[in-house]
Each structure stands twice: as C-alpha cells, then as structure tokens.
Amino acid sequence: MNRVLGLLLIIFLAAGCSSRSSQGKRIPVAKAGDAVLYLDQIPRYGRNGSSAADSSVMAHDFINKWVRKELMFQKAEENLSPELKEEIENQIKETRSDLTIYQYQRQMMLEKMDTTISDAEMENYYSANHQSFSLGYNIVKALFIKLPFETPNLGRVRTLARSSEQKDLQELESICYQFAEKFDDFDEKWVPLDKISIELPQEISNEEQFLRYNTFYQYTDSVNAFFLKIRDYRLRSATAPFDYVREDIRRIIWNTRRLEFIQNLENGIYNSAIEENKFTIYNN
C-alpha cells in the first residue's frame, strides 16, 4: 500500500472518523474487480490505546483480508455451476425468511407477551407435575469446612460445626473467615453431594448409605481437617424439592407460554388472511 494511503489511514483512525454520514465524498482504499472498499468501511482501531502506527498496521491487515476474500468470492461466482448458484439463492431466501419471521416474533413477544410468572403458578405446575422432577443424583443441604491442620482449637471448630445455635454458627463463621481454605454453607440451597464429596480426601463409595447413617463427618490428616454437616438430603430417584427445580419450572412455563404465543400469532395472521382473501391454494 502506498505512502499516501497509509497517511490517510493514520489520519482517519487518529481522528476517530467523525461519522460516515458527515463525509461529503467517500474515499476508496482498495478495489477488487468491480467491488470497492471505502475508507469509512474500515473498523476504527485505536480506541483501546493503540498507537496510530499500530492502528495503521491493523487497517492494512483488514484491507488485505478484504481483497483476498473478495477475489475468492468473485472466482467462486465465476466458476460455480448454475445448479449450485440456484441452490445458494434458495438458501439465502430461506434464511432471510426465517430470520425475518424470528425477529418479528421476538418483537411481538417483547411488546405483547406476558412474561410475569408468579410463585403460585410455579407451585401449581410443580404440584401437577411433580412426578416429572425425579432426581438423577443425591442432593444435600450441608455445611462444609476445610481448615489447615495447624488451625488453633480444632476441637472448638468441631463443636461449633455440630451446633444449630445461631450464636455458635456466627462464631464458627468468624473462625473460618480467618483460617479456612473452604467454608461453604449450603443451608438454604440444595447442591449435588458430588460437588462437596470431590473436596474430601476419601471417596464416598456408597452415597445413599453415607447419607442415611451420617449427619456429621470429620476427617483429619497431617495437612488438613475436614468437617461436613448434613442438614438435609434427598436421594436419587426421589422427587426433587420445589426450591431445587424452581428455575427449571420457570423456564418450562416461559417456554410453553412462548410457544403458545407464537402459535396464536401465526393462527391470527392466517385467519385474517382467509377473511381478507390474501392467499390462494391451487388444486392442480
């Protein structure tokens, strides 16, 4: 690329390209066949602190890629068979049709579809379809702590972790914030047991048996001390608690409502077209 073009690019990019509409005359920077690339079509580099020289290099790279792509496109157009060209045109029409319909449906949904989903609606759906929410794995509400072995007074930590008193839990939290490598309190949230057991030094060979017979687990080695308090659990194949599948239910209701809205929109357009004689089906 010649020095004049390079200078134009630097000036253009450094100035920030005031606006395309304000340019009286578009400046061509490259041509491939009958296709022309104009200066205002080049991305405005330099917004992230790049120097004018770096921005010019990136602009040159963009132009070179445009030329190579345009030449390839033109060669392909010259050599494709009529059948393939027709297939491409059909695909373009189909894609344009699908995209136009999608954007119209989206616009109508934003304007007219009720997106409010109440707690009562979700609870009613859960009650009517609870058999559909079978757990595929064990879930727990639990407290998990991992502390360095040298943490002072591990016996006190164990006592506090087993307690359900609010003042004891506050004291435990204070200690863990100072020393713990891990302190996860899943008291209000169901989590898969696997998410916690992966942190333990010993594998739980039988999760169901472990949950049935353990409310508190402790393991200490020469490096760390581990404490796990199981506050509640549900076994795999059991019905998932409502609060565990709440967001799944919200998505199901929303998606069902979306499909119904789109179907009603399509039916309304179709029925209006019948009344107004806007289409004809020929019986050949």
For the beta carbon of residue 135, count every other beta carbon within 10 angstroms: 18
Comparing 8-12, 65-69, 153-157, 181-185, the range with the smallest average pLDDT is: 8-12
Checking if the pLDDT of 159 tops 90, the result is: yes
For the beta carbon of residue 255, count every other beta carbon within 10 angstroms: 10
Q: Is 200 exposed, middle or buried (0-12, 13-18, 19+ CB in 10 A)?
A: middle
Give the chain's mean pLDDT. 88
Residue 24 — pLDDT band, cuts 50, 70, 90? Answer: low
| Alpha-carbon dihedral sign for residues 15, 21, 25, 27 | positive
Give the pair of three-digit tokens for residue 119.
């707690």
**Rounded CA gap, 139 and 215, in Å?**
14
Spatial neighbors of 180 by CB under 8 A, at least 6 apart, are 145, 146, 147, 151
Expressed in angstroms, the distance from the first to the final Cα of the chain is 62
Instruction: State the DSSP code for 134.
Output: B
Pairing of strands 139-148, 224-234: antiparallel
Would you state the pLDDT for residue 138?
97
Average confidence (pLDDT) over 135-148? 95
Count of residues in the chain? 284
Give the tens place of pLDDT for each residue, 63-110: 999 999 999 999 999 999 999 999 999 999 999 999 999 999 999 999
For the beta carbon of residue 172, count every other beta carbon within 10 angstroms: 25
Residue 248 — pLDDT band, cuts 50, 70, 90? Answer: very high
- Using an 8 Å Cβ cutoff, are 55 and 49 in contact? no
**Rounded CA gap, 81 and 102, in Å?**
32
The residue with greater pLDDT, 48 or 100, is 100
**Rounded CA gap, 81 and 65, in Å?**
26
Q: What's at 11, amino acid-wise?
A: I
**Rounded CA gap, 63 and 58, in Å?**
9
Could you tell me the pTM of the whole model? 0.72
Residue 42: which of 54, 53, 58 has the closest Cα?
58
Checking if the pLDDT of 14 tops 90, the result is: no
